Amino acid sequence: MPEVLKAPLVVEFPFTRSLGPVQSAFLTGLRERVVLGVKTVDGRILVPPVEYDPVTSDDLRDLVEVSPTGTVTTWAWNHEPRRGQPLDTPFAWVLVKLDGADTALLHALDAPGGPESVHTGMRVRVRWAEERSGAITDIACFEPYEGGKDGTRELTGHDGQFADMVTGIVAPARLDYVYSPGRAQSGYINALVERRTVGERCPSCRKVYVPPRGACPTCGVATSEQVEVGPRGTVTTYCIVNIKAKNLDIEVPYVYGHIALDGADLALHGRIGGIPYDQVRMGLRVEPVWTDGGRYPDHYRPTGEPDADYDTYKELV
């Protein structure tokens, strides 16, 4: 059996959001080494603060400063820190109820003594980052704290106002994973290296699916019979792209279309080139264009044949 392919993939994008008055005060406060919570209708102090009461849904604006010291309520050891995590050496993820708060804050605990040194009820305090910008990372981590809880400390209200308030954040979102396309699509990809397009036929309905999925989506039965299709095909539908994508060296506008290759019962998508974008149309007959060393067609261009009759591809639109 041919080797099943696999490859590391990354999905990454910046997530931009604006902050309301409560989150703006909380993050700006962290920049100033101040931890703020919010008082609910029933008098509880929530840290991190939220804008709406979780019980009554009332707006919450009554901010309170709490202590940077607290107690671990539960924890889990992280043996192998990953990229972007708070510490690059093994640490504990902890839920910490800060003194004066009624809810716990999730963050990292730097515990040089290893997991044996961490326990529920452990006293900890905030270790502030040297450089702070108004983000949760302004708390570098928690660290062990020998002092006890100061029962005489009084909570103080806070107006939530600081100089140069943080009103928005950009948080990078990234997912690293290893993807395997499976047996069927591995065969499809390997055939593309030879400039062939291969699908698989359902043994029940006899439809040929390209790219193959390993099973018929209509009948739910496994597929294994390989069928070479194309290379020519018919544009069944398309869209005109007017926004330039990052790291994609294609001038806008350009056209992406669904292309039903001859002999296939499922349309695949590809870029349409070799023709002005406003002349692309349903029924246009196209063929693949390969570049030197390319592992898949760079784009599809018109063949010069008459357009296909709508009835020959209407089930694939």
pLDDT in tens, the chain (317 residues): 567 889 999 998 888 999 999 999 999 999 999 999 999 999 999 999 999 999 999 999 999 999 999 999 999 999 999 888 999 999 999 999 999 999 999 999 999 999 999 999 999 999 999 999 999 999 999 999 997 776 545 678 899 999 999 999 998 888 999 999 899 999 999 999 899 999 999 999 999 999 998 999 899 999 999 999 999 999 999 999 999 887 788 889 999 999 999 999 999 999 999 999 999 999 999 999 998 888 889 999 999 999 999 999 999 88
pLDDT of residue 151: 54
CB contact at 8 A, 92 and 185:
no
Q: What is the C-alpha separation between 121 and 22, in angstroms, rounded? A: 29
Picking from 35, 264, 257, 254, the residue whose alpha carbon sits closest to that of residue 155 is: 35
pLDDT of residue 163: 95
Paired tokens of 1: 């059996």
Every domain range in the chain assigned CATH 2.40.50: 230-316
Buried b (16+ CB within 10 A) or exposed e, 29-39: bbbeebbbbbb
Phi-psi region of 309 (alpha: psi -120 to 50; beta: other; left: phi over 0): beta
Whose structure tokens read 């039965």?
221
Paired tokens of 89: 């050496």
Q: What is the C-alpha separation between 26 and 165, in angstroms, rounded? A: 10
DSSP 212: -
pLDDT of residue 2: 64
Sign of CA dihedral 159, 161, 167, 173: negative
Picking from 47, 38, 19, the residue whose alpha carbon sits closest to that of residue 171 is: 19
230-316 has CATH 3.40.109 classification: no
